Structure 1
Amino acid sequence: MSLITPNRRGGANKGGARRNENNRIYGLPLPLEFSTPATARFHPARHILGLFGIPDTRILNPHCEGTFDPLTCSVWVTNSKDSTILWRRGFFGKGDLSRSEPSWHTRQMTARKAAGKFLTSEEIREKRRAERKQFKLDRAAALAQAAAEAEAAFAEGREAAPVAIPSGATWKPQAHPTAEDSRSPTPALTEEVEQEPEEPLEDLEHLQLTLQEAFFLIWNFNCLTVIDPATNEPMSLQQIWSTFRSVYCDKLPPPLSEPAMKRFDNPFLVNYVAYHYFRSLGWVVKGGIKFCVDLLLYKRGPVFHHAEFAVLVMPVYEDPADQESSPFTLANAEPFSWSWLSTVNRVNSQVQKTLILAYVTIPASSRVSCDQTMSPACLAHYSIREVVLRRFLPARMRD
């Protein structure tokens, strides 16, 4: 018996085909894939191994490859297959020529074919924006026509003729051909274009991973290999840990750069703690600079839903003396004004996002030895507490 009640107006499930396709493509939440051999599913040895706690499930590791770029402080994944795996399995990184999903090559191929059947997410967004703009223009023109007809009828002493005002429920986009589109090409020119072979289109886009995303994939799943651009050799975990921390230290004067390597308030450590915390809770974490925040939290990913939460990373020093001697200027570490906080909260409330203040407590150097920062084990000394901030609306919250 089906649990889905058919919709008498528009079918059983509007947009169900697209939703099912997204569930198939983006079904894996992480790059690792767990697989059970088909021949071993009903094998008697499977039950015997299960009694001893030995699983027969295999872990398929994609082993993607990227190159560290010191100028952009990120990791570039140039292989299109690896880029597709990292994006579709957890939405890691973003395309450098795209808004989020690396779809530049697909958009170019679609433009060549000019079929309009297969649209990327960015093309769908631009199409909807153009339709909304055209609807507003048509509605404004109809309102102006209705006002002119009412004035003319009042002056002539007659009843105004009805003017159809388009509404969002009934309005449908119509093609507006231009002078160039109305011209039909000559047969000779058409044959020449058809006979001319198309040049192969090179994919110029790469997937760009932040340092936090790259280290999360390396340290937790070992599914990403980072290449040193100077030697073209794979970097070890210790080299990656040291390189990612030195990104912020290299910007300091030479007398301060070396001692800063062993500080707990290194911006990479503070930002990674927040990123790792929310990723470990099952959220898809993306950058939130568009909404004046540090992070955006998606329940499943940008393809399925909009971000539900916007996160501001708030560093807090356990020992105030460490803040006074720090060579780093951490964002949101100083006391903020209520006007600034109200502004950020208002921006995110307008886009249906709940603001979260994530306070990352930086351990005191007097309590924990700074030599522990030479290993990722130092992350265990950090702690996070969350404060959910909601905008107070007197008209809705009187009870």
Structure 2
Amino acid sequence: MADTPNIVSATSNLHDAPSASVNTTSSTQVKPKSRPSTPKGPPLHQLYALPVPIRTFPLPSFYPNNPISLFHVIYAWVGQLISPPPAEPAIIYQGIWSPETRSVHIKDPKSIRALWEQGFFGKGNYSRSEPNWLKREQARKGNNGNHIAEDVTAQRREERKMMKWDRARKEQEAIQRTRLQEAWVAPVGPMELLALPNSEHDLKPGYPNDSLNGTPTQSIITNSTEGLGLSSGYATPNGDATLANATAVDATDAIADGKDAVPALPDMNGYASPPHTPTSPIKRRKSVRFSPKVDSTTFQLSDPPNPNHGTQSNGGVVNGNLTNGSSPSSQSAKSGPFESISESSTTSTSGPTSSELNSEIVDKEHLQLCLEEVFYLVFALGALTVLNPVTGKPFTTSDLFTLCRQTSYIPPRMKNLQPDDPFLIHYAAYHHFRSLGWVTRPGIKFGVDWMLYNRGPVFSHAEFAVIVLPAYTGPWWKTEGRQPPRKSWHWLHTINRVQATALKTLVLAYVDIPPPFDDELGATEIFKRYRVREFIVRRWLSNRNRD
């Protein structure tokens, strides 16, 4: 009963929705705290103002309770009649069909930025999503002062890692102090009682005792062993006192040198300090340089682990050097015939060379558009033309429609096309959600067909994950006995579990398949026969969903 899905349905016609609309839904978002180290750029709401690569000129709103608003509507309407706005789309972008990748490539840098900023279409072939490979290369070579999303994400992850490391260090110190305090055992034997200090001269500084009964009144135990480069731990059953002797000797040496004296622990059952459990020796790490003189870097046992010492996910060293892995002698000693090799190996990971700085960076990235995005830009908006790589001439809308249907099969099918072509089913759902104002992007990362964003990936995460399923509900399909592909309950539970972990709502979009039609029909007449039904699948929990 706890995992019973709650399904909410909604039905709409594909041809009833407008071809392009502006999403007016806005949510109040808490602005993150400003970071002084991060350079500020243009506001996101200005940079991504247009939801699609066309501009609209709507009339003012009319309010029945305010007659003056009627004059505003008439004034704007007359103004557009006298001086009509320019035809849209004002700019038509060009792309090249790629039969190898079954997508369209946009290679003009201005067109790439325009299609990304005006609707988040496509994906950079060298980037995760946003085509910012050139900015990342410029930032890597030090020629770009603007911040990029990857750098901001890496900085935030580094800050979280340092915060977690500092928190873990404080927790370990608190646990160590508690262990030292709990390791003290009250003296019970006659020899231990006689060994207790009975005068102020015998008392150790920092450990006040009660003069009446000779027992400590407060156990003020600090990290004395940590300051001397030693480690402490629990008391062993056999009462090992090697750590106590070393602590007493090091404390005497520190006092003789004029340093801050670290108080020693009082006598406990005949021992100078609480015994500890011997642990396995810590492995020492070495740093070898390409030089005739090999300098090994060792670490003191009391040194905390440096969080900057490690490798990144791509195999490079953090910040290009080993902050805790190079000794002062190895940093200062630079001699020998292999010194240039050592410098080149160090600078290759730490930063760009002078030749790289002087060389001009060529933008090698292009934007990849999937079949649904291409046909939406060509058919619904008219903002894109696709060129044939063989002839160099643009495809017509009907030719591109047939090409998308043929290449949606694996391998491509040149004839015997069906009404349940993969392209027809997925484009019906894509056009449906785009027309309703959602930013629709491929969702293969989360195991679904489409991801729905309220305004775009730069503003917030996707709120809904859509799976497109064909539905043969017409009477013609019932006579033919055609059934949709069967999905098991385990499949639905797996998909829903993934989306729940990613804080997304699963949407099942059923596309009603019409009976077979003539291939000579246009795309408009064909898509009028498709209907999209939406079902939201959520987990129902009896202890959380009472309201």
Q: TM-score normalised by the shorter chain: which range applies?
A: 0.7 to 0.9
Distance 1:294 1:196 in 2: 41
Match of 1:71 among 100, 110, 115: 100
How far residue 14 of structure 1 moved from its aligned partner, in angstroms, is 4.5
Corresponding residue SS for 1:241: helix
1:341-386 Cα shifts (integer Å, max 9, x gaps): 1222222122221111111011122xxx333555442011000111
Structure 1 pair 203–389 and aligned structure 2 pair: CA distance change class (3 A): same
2:430 equivalent to 1:275: yes
Distance (whole Å) between structure 1 residues aligned to residue 32 and residue 159 of structure 2: 24
Counterpart AA for 1:218: V
The separation in 2 between residues aligned to 1:19 and 1:110, in whole angstroms, is 15
Answering whether residue 84 of structure 2 is matched by residue 56 of structure 1, we say: yes
Q: Distance in 1 between matches of 2:165 and 2:399?
A: 58
Residue 258 (structure 1) aligns with: 415
The alignment partner of 1:390 has SS state of: strand
| CA pair 73-184 structure 1, distance change in 2 beyond 3 A | farther
2:155, 2:480 → 1: CA distance? 52
Quote the Cα distance in structure 2 between the aligned partners of 1:209 and 1:175: 39
Q: In structure 2, what is the Cα distance between the partners aligned to 1:371 and 1:54?
A: 43
SS at match of 2:539: coil
From 514, 521, 533, the counterpart of 1:363: 514
Range 227-236 or range 75-84, more displaced: 227-236
Distance in 2 between residues matched to 1:322 and 1:22, nearest whole Å: 53
Cα–Cα, structure 1 residues 270 and 322, in superposed 2: closer, same or farther, change >3 Å? farther
SS in 1 for 2:468: strand
Query: Which one of 377, 382, 391 corresponds to residue 217 of structure 1?
Result: 377
Q: Which moved further from structure 2: 88-97 or 236-245?
A: 236-245
The reply on whether 1:386 has 2:537 as its aligned counterpart is no
Please identify the structure whose Cα radius of gyration is greater: 2
Asked if structure 1 preserves the Cα contact closer than 8 Å seen for 2:388 and 2:395, the reply is yes
TM-score (norm: length of structure 2)? 0.57
| Pairing 1:161-240 to 2, within 5 Å after superposition | 161=222, 178-179=321-322, 198-240=358-400
Mapped partners of 2:150, 2:424: distance in 1:
33
Contact 2:426–2:468 (Cα < 8 Å) also in 1? yes
2:133 corresponds in structure 1 to 104
1:104-123 correspondence runs (5 A): 104-113=133-142, 118-123=146-151
Residues 114/228 of structure 1: CA separation in 2 closer, same or farther (3 Å cut) = closer
Aligned-pair CA distance for 1:213: 0.4
1:155 aligns with 2:303: no
**8 Å Cα contact 2:124-2:365 kept in structure 1:** yes
Match of 1:103, as an amino acid? N
CA distance in 2, matches of 1:393, 1:108: 49
Structure 1 distance, partners of 2:115, 2:460, is 19
Structure 2 unaligned regions, length at least 5: 1-30, 59-73, 186-218, 224-305, 310-318, 335-339, 348-352
Change (3 A) 1:160 1:212: farther
Q: Please say if residues 99 and 122 of structure 1, whose CA atoms lie closer than 8 Å, have aligned partners that are also in contact.
A: no
Is 1:335 the equivalent of 2:486? yes
Inter-partner Cα distance in structure 1 for 2:183 and 2:76: 95
Worse-matched range after superposition: 19-28 or 48-57:
48-57
TM-superposition CA deviations, 1:296-354 (whole Å, max 9, x none): 111110111111111111111231566759xxxxxxx4232222212222221222211
Q: 1:26 aligns with which of 45, 48, 64?
A: 48
Report 1 or 2 for greater relative contact order, CA contacts < 8 Å, sequence distance ≥ 6.
2
Could you tell me whether the CA contact under 8 Å between 1:346 and 1:391 is conserved in 2?
Answer: no
Deviation of the 1:202 alpha carbon: 0.8
1:245 to 402, 405, 419: 405
What is the rounded CA distance, in whole Å, between the counterparts of 1:312 and 1:109 in structure 2?
A: 39
Query: 2-side partners of 1:197 and 1:316: how far apart?
Result: 58
Name structure 1 gaps, 5 residues minimum.
Answer: 1-11, 37-45, 163-172, 326-332
Q: What is the root-mean-square deviation of aligned Cα atoms in Å?
A: 3.6
Structure 2: distance between partners of 1:302 and 1:47: 38
Question: How far apart in 2 are the matches of 1:98 and 1:292?
Answer: 20
Aligned-partner Cα distance in 2 for 1:225–1:85: 15
State the SS of the aligned residue for 1:381.
Answer: coil
Percent of aligned pairs with the same residue? 36
Query: Aligned pairs, how many?
Result: 351
Match of 1:144 among 158, 163, 172: 172
C-alpha contact (below 8 Å) 1:361/1:384 kept by paired residues:
yes
Structure 2 CA distance for aligned equivalents of residues 322 and 70 of structure 1: 35
1:108 is paired with a residue whose SS is helix
Indicate if the aligned counterparts of 2:165 and 2:307 stay in contact, CA closer than 8 A.
no
